[in-house]
Structure 1
Amino acid sequence: MSDDYIADSARTLFARHGLDRFAALWALELDSVDAPNTGRGGWSSVSRLELVDADGTVHAFYLKRQIDHLSRSLRHPLGEATFAREFRNIRRYQHDDVPALEAVFFGQRRIAGKVCALLVTRALDDHKPLDRWLADWPALPRATRRAIVDAVAGLARTLHGAGHLHNCLYPKHVFVRVDSGRASARLIDLEKTRPLFLGARDRVRDLDALNRHTRGPAATERLRFLLRYLGRDALDDAAAHLARSVLQRRHRKAARR
């Protein structure tokens, strides 16, 4: 694969810095934001990239590069770059109007017999991961907590309504922005997402993952989440059934440990 993707929103900026080509981005010397991932028999790293436009405004991105970091599936039994899969899912979410991270560059090459891929996404510096909001949950104003609950529930509703299972719906993968009392949310880490093959069972899978890894919200706030997710104003049979399904899945997983 030699055809690179570059978003129109970033084309001028990247060209200004000579970074509108795979080779230029691949050769950049940047510190990794954390230890490289050496799983899957390959190598993968993430670096922060900041570029200044003609007006002096700084734009932040994350540059992700990998070598032979492959995932295998029935469609790709010999493996494909995990960034190729994530890029494809980002584009699907964008097409279906599911708020998520924005891809601005993707490219893939075979270099010295190895699959090399890079993915650049725009930094969500005006958002915070949900787990960071949860760390301060008791100290947050009640109105802010409600706004966050509503935003995350709305995001999950949109996600599933578009026919997608995130498949890794943890608080660290939900990014929330609060501005003037209003909250909005986006998803990251789309590598494992897939269609909702199993309908309600898949939806419960996502909701259970989010519920189990969420610490802080009271029972009334969790009920509010379910009602907003279902588009209900009060507890009814549908909400009660969903709550039971989520709790039953949690208890089954706990029993297997």
Structure 2
Amino acid sequence: MPSTPDSYTHPEWSAGLIDAGYASFDDWWNAEQNLVEVGNFRGPDANTSWSHVSRIELPDGRTVYLKRQQNHFPNNTLLKLRRICTFEIEYQNYLKLQEAGVPTMKIIHFATRKVNGDKQCIIVSEELKGMSPVDTLIKSFEATQWPSRKDRLAMLQAVVKVVKTMHRAGLIHNALYGRHIYLNIPIVEGRPQLPESYNACLIDLERTKSPGPKSPKLIKNDLEKMFRRIRQWPARDCLWFLKQYLGIDKLTPEAKAIARKIAATRK
């Protein structure tokens, strides 16, 4: 793993963050908590190894998400011995995906440090305003009504574009679940507001790997996982997605074998 810089701040956000009172590592580390999910804790007590995400509204009206962790290392033995936090890995993966042209959340600040033997790391990302995760959209569709097939395929086409760009660069997300795929569809009063055109992006990049553009993991570790987690999405749409991904009009024997594996994950 390449060395990670100790800190980075997006130049367009630097002055605004300072004005908001976030000029140092301690400013972020001690920020008022507004947790958006249950923290991840390991070890014998709550201080040994932990990781959590907070939502922060800045005075200028913008919203950011702050991810903080301490001594939170991956299961990989080598990386654990080197005491590399999972957020350091996520930041490295973010840079790889940015270089490959894969749309992701926008990281505006990253920093890491050691304090009294503890490894601490933070990532701050810009709110994906006007976007919703696919699993949340599915729940809204189920509660109200599903969009027309034309719109559904347009949504999937946006996802296909992102996934193919990533896979052509030899990268896999490795956690391609509905909650990690965002579409530019805001939900207002429980109802999805469909736009004229669709865009997608990815979040949660800690598990991203680089197996190469011809690796079987591209389908097994990404597509199979994705379709297993969005079982409610109509099956014929999923088959259309696969053909778009493979660049074919009709299913070949190889494509049929892939389709059967994907179908098996949705049962």
Name the TM tier (shorter chain): 0.7 to 0.9
Partner of 1:98: 102
Partner of 1:3: 6
CA RMSD for the aligned pairs? 2.4
Output the amino acid matched with 2:31.
L
Partner of 1:34: 37
Are 1:230 and 2:230 counterparts?
no
Deviations 1:64-88 (A, max 9, x none): 1111111253652513111111111
Are 1:201 and 2:201 counterparts?
no
Q: By how many angstroms is 1:227 displaced?
A: 2.1
Q: By how many angstroms is 1:246 displaced?
A: 4.7
In 1, distance between residues paired with 2:58 and 2:22?
10
- Contact persistence 2:34–2:56 (CA under 8 A): no
In 1, distance between residues paired with 2:19 and 2:40?
31
- Contact persistence 2:184–2:195 (CA under 8 A): no
Structure-2-length-normalised TM-score: 0.84
Output the amino acid matched with 1:241.
E
**Structure 1, unpaired ranges of 5+:** none
Are 1:125 and 2:129 counterparts?
yes
- Contact persistence 1:157–1:230 (CA under 8 A): no
- Contact persistence 1:137–1:145 (CA under 8 A): no
* 1:42-191 equivalent positions in 2, closer than 5 A: 42-53=49-60, 58-73=61-76, 76-78=79-81, 79-137=83-141, 139-142=145-148, 143-178=150-185, 180-191=195-206
Deviations 1:181-239 (A, max 9, x none): 2111111111011012483411111111111111223232112111221233x2142xx
Output the amino acid matched with 2:234.
A
Q: By how many angstroms is 1:180 displaced?
A: 2.9
Distance 1:147 1:68, change over 3 A: same
Output the amino acid matched with 1:213.
R
- Contact persistence 1:208–1:246 (CA under 8 A): no
Secondary structure (helix, strand or coil) at the match of 2:198 reads strand
Distance 1:39 1:197, change over 3 A: farther
In 1, distance between residues paired with 2:162 and 2:119?
34
- Work out the percentage of aligned pairs sharing the same amino acid: 28
In 1, distance between residues paired with 2:147 and 2:5?
51
In 2, distance between residues paired with 1:163 and 1:110?
33
- Contact persistence 1:110–1:116 (CA under 8 A): yes
Partner of 2:188: none
In 2, distance between residues paired with 1:164 and 1:226?
18
In 1, distance between residues paired with 2:231 and 2:251?
25
Distance 1:201 1:28, change over 3 A: same
- Contact persistence 1:99–1:187 (CA under 8 A): yes
**Structure 2, unpaired ranges of 5+:** 186-193
In 1, distance between residues paired with 2:174 and 2:41?
22
In 1, distance between residues paired with 2:247 and 2:212?
22
Divergent runs of 4+, >4 A? 249-254
Secondary structure (helix, strand or coil) at the match of 2:64 reads strand
In 2, distance between residues paired with 1:66 and 1:16?
25
In 2, distance between residues paired with 1:146 and 1:72?
38
- Contact persistence 2:239–2:259 (CA under 8 A): no
- 2:258 aligned to which of 221, 240, 245: 245
The count of aligned residue pairs is 247
In 1, distance between residues paired with 2:266 and 2:230?
16
